[in-house]
Amino acid sequence: MPKLWLPDVNREPIPAGANDPKIHPVMLVVHRTAVRAPDQHDWFAHGSGGLESHGHTPRLGKSQQYRPFNIECDAQAAGNSWIVSGLRAGAISWETEGTADDVWTPWQESELVRIMRFLRDEWK
């Protein structure tokens, strides 16, 4: 069974809703938050109007994971999940702290590489 949580992150679970099915992750979609906020848990849990993300990497400091990788998050519209040969495939949604003018910090770049390697190794 593939691992559902990244090692060495702050786990801040957001419960799945009735419209959040189990998925088999097949891609990673990285977003920028467009704000300087080192943690997005409260926004996704209470203020987003039903959008969720699997996790968030701040400009500095430990990443947070909000959902296990086998639960859909609603941040990619039609790209959240889809059926292929009877299997529900889906995208992992990952946020990065930063505004439109920011570039990823070296920390964010290395953390995104770590996340991609983890997903590649666990979810073949």
The string of pLDDT tens digits covering residues 3-56 is: 999 999 999 999 998 999 999 999 999 999 999 999 999 999 998 988 899 999
Contacts of 73 (CB under 8 A, 6+ apart): 20, 51, 52, 53, 54, 66, 67, 80, 92, 93
What pLDDT, in 10s, does the model give residues 85-108? Answer: 999 999 999 999 999 899 999 999
- Say what the pTM is: 0.94
| Cα 6 → chain centroid | 11
In sequence order, the β-bridge partners of residue 87 are: 84
